[in-house]
Structure 1
Amino acid sequence: MTGIAVTLLTLATLIVMSIRFDRGHREIARLPMQWSLSGRVNWTAPRRLALAFTPVLAAILLITIQITAPVQTQPPGSDGSVLPALLTAALLLVVTHAIHLRLCDRMTSRMN
């Protein structure tokens, strides 16, 4: 039950982050998706697709962790809890999405 709550809370957080960013950047048609080491944008995606990418990826990843973890062989002494892996993945997804949105914000503010 805790795993489901973590998944839903993470997805809600990512979706709210994307919606808030979208509301503030409606004039931008495409958002950067990858940067080179020199800081140049390698490729872009349509704004809505770019903002939906991380929440969709998170849903796939977090659900996969919950489904596959119970069927894997657990080491002796392990309680078989999937919560540490789920929390780690959730935290990394939220932080990564925040960094991506910050970089997009910085890049779009330079363009204006």
Structure 2
Amino acid sequence: MAMFGIALFFGLLLCGLAIRANSRFRREDRLPMQWWLTGDVTWSAPRVLALSFIPALAIGVLAINAALAMNLQPRPGQEGMVLPGLIGTGLLFLVVQHLHFWLIEKTLHRGDG
């Protein structure tokens, strides 16, 4: 049950950050979603879709990981890695979401968005 609690915590945290970012980027109709190596935006999405993509993906991945952790036995010797793996996955999604916000902010200030 703790696995679903951790997955829920990260899901709610990511949703809260997306809601906060929605108010920060409220003047923009579309936000960049992908950049080329030169920094040029290759495609964008409507603001709500762009901000909800990472939380939706994270909720799905974390829920599947939590369900698998509760229903399947880990390999011998890896029993202690399930909880840190789930927390690491949640933290990775937080880092990716912050990176996405930073790239959006940088692009909008540059005027390419």
**Structures share a fold, TM > 0.5?**
yes
Amino acid at match of 2:57: L
Pair 1:35-2:35 in alignment: yes
Amino acid at match of 1:35: W
SS, match of residue 82 in structure 1 = helix
How many residues are paired up? 112
Query: Contact 2:3/2:69 (CA < 8 Å) preserved in 1?
Result: no
Q: Sequence identity of aligned pairs in percent?
A: 37
Q: Which runs of 5+ in 1 are unaligned?
A: none
SS, match of residue 27 in structure 2 = coil
Give the equivalent residue in structure 2 for 1:86: 86
Q: Deviations over 1:42-87 (max 9, x none)?
A: 1100000000001100110001111223444532234366212211
What TM-score comes out, normalization by structure 1 length?
0.88
User: Separation in 2 of the partners of 1:68 and 1:74?
Assistant: 9
What TM-score comes out, normalization by structure 2 length?
0.88
Amino acid at match of 2:98: A
Query: Contact 1:7/1:59 (CA < 8 Å) preserved in 2?
Result: yes
Note the aligned Cα RMSD (angstroms). 1.9
Pair 1:19-2:19 in alignment: yes
